[in-house]
Amino acid sequence: MAAPNNFLLIIFNCVLILQNAPFLAVALPLPEAISAKLRNDSETIKLASTDYGRIIEEKPYGVFFPGNGSDIAGLIQFMYGSPTPMDIAARGHGHSVQGQSLVENGIVVNMTSLGGLDGRIVVSTTTALGPYADVGGEQLWIDVLHATMAKGLSPLSLTDYLRLTVGGTLSNAGVGGQTFRFGPQISNVLELDVVTGKGELLTCSPTNNPELFYGALGGLGQFGVITRARIPLGPAPTRAKWVRMLYTNFSAFTSDQELLISNNGKEKSNGLNYLEGLLLLELKAPDNSSFYPLPDQPKISSLISQHGIVYVLEVVKYYDQQSAGSVDQDLEKLLTGLRFEAGLKFIKDVSYEEFLDRVHTDELALRSLGLWDVPHPWLNLFIPKSKLFEFEWGVYRSIIQKRKLTTGVLLFYPIFKNKWDEKTSAVIPDEDVFYMAGFLFSSGFNNWQTFEEHNRDILKFCAEAGIGAKLYLPHFESQKEWIDHFGRKWPVFQQRKALFDPKHLLSPGQKIF
């Protein structure tokens, strides 16, 4: 603690600085190296007080703009040594939806302020590792994609939306349409730099500080701030055949999905490159920008009226100049025998980047309508394969269809458990195949509570029916629920916390400790 006179001096300085500078010293005896990078003007505080969910609001004391990893280490070391430390939350792009990157009265670390520095994405190749990229934890996946594509390479496993940070998705799992083949993003990391809750900047990998490495992957920001990740790369194709096939029968839809993923493992380099699925509950007809051609839209709408839900199997096959001559035939062969509705297969031919960055196209459209920065009462669940039909009946038919919950994207696609590493902190169901069920609702500012109620009803049904669902991007209000969520992984999670963040300083917005 500073002596009282020093303390007064600091307050006096604060008042002076308040009048002039964008960066503020604050009314705390903080070292100059920290206070010079801390802001608490109302605009900065406002931006760091909420997230993409627009549901939770927590006001931080200040926002820290690090110039490098050592600045983050300095901040955490200082708080770790302080008798009255403040909590610290790394904020990637704030794309969480339940306040996971927020901190009440603590310090938000604005990770993106590292992003302007040169050398934060470096692509290399060695004989031992093959091609890989060292990328800053603050980097957006779209920028990683651009930098690697410039060298004819690409990350292997990507999320649907690429304006997410590397550190943010690795703190969760990073799932998408390539997960069936390469595993989630946390299965595609060779090494990390992490600043622990004690302020130590450590390099870790499966063989070097493995507890920290596996802890941080899927670790919800609880063990340290990821400042660098080494990501393996593969050859980047140039184009994509993007296919959607429509089903009215859930059983045919899911068994075709499973057939395709089991025929298309990593080793089958000529197989499908991406597989997901979604639910159609309405078609805003007639829509020129829709994936579905205008003349087919009335037929699809009438199928939806007749069946309540139409299931969409979405697959992609990449190609390049060399394979352009055979891609259509290869695709046809892969999709032969599937049981989608006759005539309801639609194919787009797009560039590789256009396909991967597809959600950004939606983002721009929604932004132009003022519909991007609205509340997002999202729910994401992993559903064990053995409970698919109970889930379809109890959730899709009895909640989603009956209540006509159409304002959002509903995802449903299978994933292999063996593509996940049990040693990471991520939690998944204990079955060989499970499904990702995403309820990505958008709402108005005055009715998101209704969607939260629907989500609670979905969870209640799952609990009562013994579905064994696990939350992805989890959010709970009590530690007991967290302990249930982690199950047998809880003791290890707790031990890692004691080892790497014993004062419980990091990512308090997760509300675990």
Instruction: State the catalytic residues.
Output: 95, 160, 276
**Residue 251 Cβ, how far from ligand FAD at the closest point, in Å?**
26
With H, G, I as helix, E, B as strand and everything else as coil, classify residue 304.
Answer: helix
**Residue 332 Cβ, how far from ligand FAD at the closest point, in Å?**
28
Which residues are CB-contacts of 211 (< 8 A; sequence separation ≥ 6)?
Answer: 496, 499, 500
Binding site for ligand FAD (CB under 6 A): 51-52, 89-96, 100-101, 111, 137, 159-161, 164-165, 167-169, 171-176, 220-221, 225-226, 359, 473, 507, 509-510
397/504 with CB nearer ligand FAD: 504
Q: 430-434 — which CB contacts under 8 Å span 24+ positions?
A: 430/384, 430/468, 431/384, 431/385, 431/386, 431/468, 432/385, 433/258, 433/385, 434/382, 434/383, 434/384, 434/385
Q: What is each CA distance from 496 to 96, 201, 242, 447, 470, in whole angstroms?
A: 23, 16, 42, 39, 21
In the chain, count H helices and then E strands: 17, 18
The Cα–Cα gap between 94 and 103 comes to: 12
**Residue 341 Cβ, how far from ligand FAD at the closest point, in Å?**
27
What letter would DSSP give residue 464? H
> Residue type for 333, please?
K
Question: Is residue 375 reached through a cis peptide bond, with omega within 30 degrees of 0 on the bond before it?
Answer: no
**Residue 403 Cβ, how far from ligand FAD at the closest point, in Å?**
23
38/97 with CB nearer ligand FAD: 97
**Residue 105 Cβ, how far from ligand FAD at the closest point, in Å?**
16
44/301 with CB nearer ligand FAD: 44
**Residue 325 Cβ, how far from ligand FAD at the closest point, in Å?**
32
Which residues are CB-contacts of 248 (< 8 A; sequence separation ≥ 6)?
Answer: 303, 306, 307, 310, 311, 341
38/331 with CB nearer ligand FAD: 38
Contact 88, 506 (CB under 8 A): yes
Contact 431, 469 (CB under 8 A): no
165/188 with CB nearer ligand FAD: 165
Name residue 237's beta-bridge partners.
none
Residue closest to 99 by CA, chosen among 170, 48, 50, 44: 50
With H, G, I as helix, E, B as strand and everything else as coil, classify residue 404.
Answer: coil
160/191 with CB nearer ligand FAD: 160
Could you write out the three-class secondary structure of 131-173?
A: EEEEEECCCEHHHHHHHHHCCCEEECCCCCCCCCEHHHHHCCC
**Residue 367 Cβ, how far from ligand FAD at the closest point, in Å?**
12
Number of other residues whose CB lies within 10 A of the CB of residue 1:
9
Q: Name the pairing type of β-strands 121-126 and 130-136.
A: antiparallel
| Residue 429, token pair as written in the block | 């169901």
CA atoms within a 13 Å half-sphere pointing along the CA-CB vector of 507 = 30
91/387 with CB nearer ligand FAD: 91
231/334 with CB nearer ligand FAD: 231
Query: Residue length, the chain?
Result: 513
Contact 202, 72 (CB under 8 A): no
**Residue 426 Cβ, how far from ligand FAD at the closest point, in Å?**
10
Q: H-helix or E-strand containing 194?
A: strand 191-196
**Residue 272 Cβ, how far from ligand FAD at the closest point, in Å?**
18
169/264 with CB nearer ligand FAD: 169
The Cα–Cα gap between 220 and 237 comes to: 32
**Residue 509 Cβ, how far from ligand FAD at the closest point, in Å?**
6
156/175 with CB nearer ligand FAD: 175
